[in-house]
Amino acid sequence: MDLPTLWFALIAFFFVGYFVLDGFDFGVGMSLPFLGRDDTDRRVLVNTIGPVWDLNETWVIVAGAALFAAFPEWYATMFSGFYLALLLILLALIVRGVSFEYRHQRPGHAWRARFDLMIVVGSAVPAFLWGVAFANVVRGVALDADFDYAGTFLDLLNPYALLGGLTTLLLFFTHGVLFVALKTDGPIRARARRLAVRAGLLTIVVAGSFLVVTTLQHGSLASTVLSGAAVVTILVSTVANLREREGVAFAAMAATIALAVVSLFAALFPDVMPASNDPANSLTIANAASSTYTLTVMSWVALVFVPLVLLYQGFTYWIFRKRITRAAIPAGH
């Protein structure tokens, strides 16, 4: 494997890590109106991701930095062409982060209700727009001879991209609800399992439709196999949840998201951003990559630090592995 292809695979890995980890954060945030019967319930939900949400979010920073250094042409084209969508994602992430920190600063119901709404919106907007962005990358966008985006923001809101956004929204929502079932006990856990069943069935229909369309229009042999595996794992997740095996259900849903993301990168390969108007204007792994020296230095840095990040992440989840209940919330909080 040459260095540009290696870094294409590593960027896919970083986005897999981000979507799997921050994906359930988004899902927990979106579940507040469905699982939170009162403020104590909502505090339990927030506490399930309280120790890890900011760590999960750093994966997108790593992915963006790696994209900038390894494929500067890809980074420049995507971040300029998708500027408004990515800005909305950034603002939503800021709103969500601020809400986690500020919702408990005052005791008033109206104060907390406003920040709870901001958590929901700040979780749903990125969950939807990430799917729209990646679907457009796979589908291809209009590029000129200088690899600049030649379309408009409305061009990004095509039916295929909207289906991709709905797919990630539902995948992350179901993923988050399964995480709540895994991390809580008592009535919230029972409600989360029931909600995961309903959400999972809808997710199967929508995500399955998106993967089928992707396979028919943009798929390769590798992406088809990966898409088929994703269908299997989401079915396993649904069955495991019905059998009250939260750990298996959550792991299978994480595998579903990982396989779906990898299948999109497989469908994209060897392009990194196809040009829908003229294939000659497409960005490929070869013409978008940095120099061999740059990629070599980056590879050594990744070899040292990626295992350390994974060890630290695993250690954090091990420390905060216990379930959370209403009894853990201080009385009168």
At 45-67, the pLDDT tens digits run 999 998 888 889 889 999 999 99
Alpha helices per DSSP H over the chain = 3-30, 32-35, 39-49, 53-70, 72-81, 83-102, 109-139, 159-183, 187-218, 221-242, 246-268, 285-288, 292-319
Confidence of residue 112 (pLDDT cuts 50, 70, 90): confident
Question: Average model confidence (pLDDT) for the chain?
Answer: 91
> Which has the closest alpha carbon to 70: 299, 279, 274?
299
Whether 333 has a pLDDT exceeding 70, the answer reads no
Q: The pTM is what?
A: 0.93
Mean pLDDT (whole number) for 290-316: 92
Calpha distance 267→224 (Å, rounded):
8
pLDDT score of 155: 86
Distances (CA, A) of 3 to 137, 160, 223, 286, 296: 22, 32, 22, 10, 7
Q: According to the model, what pLDDT value does residue 328 have?
A: 77
So where are the chain's domains?
A: 3-294
Domain at 3-294, CATH homologous superfamily: Formate dehydrogenase/DMSO reductase domain (1.20.1630.10)
Instruction: Please write the tens of the pLDDT for every residue from 57-102.
Output: 889 999 999 999 999 999 999 888 888 889 999 999 999 999 988 8
- What pLDDT, on a 0 to 100 scale, did the predictor assign at position 331? 65
pLDDT in tens, 129-159: 999 999 999 998 989 888 888 888 888 899 9
DSSP state of 106: S
pLDDT of residue 1 exceeding 80, the answer is no
pLDDT of residue 38: 87
pLDDT at residue number 24: 94
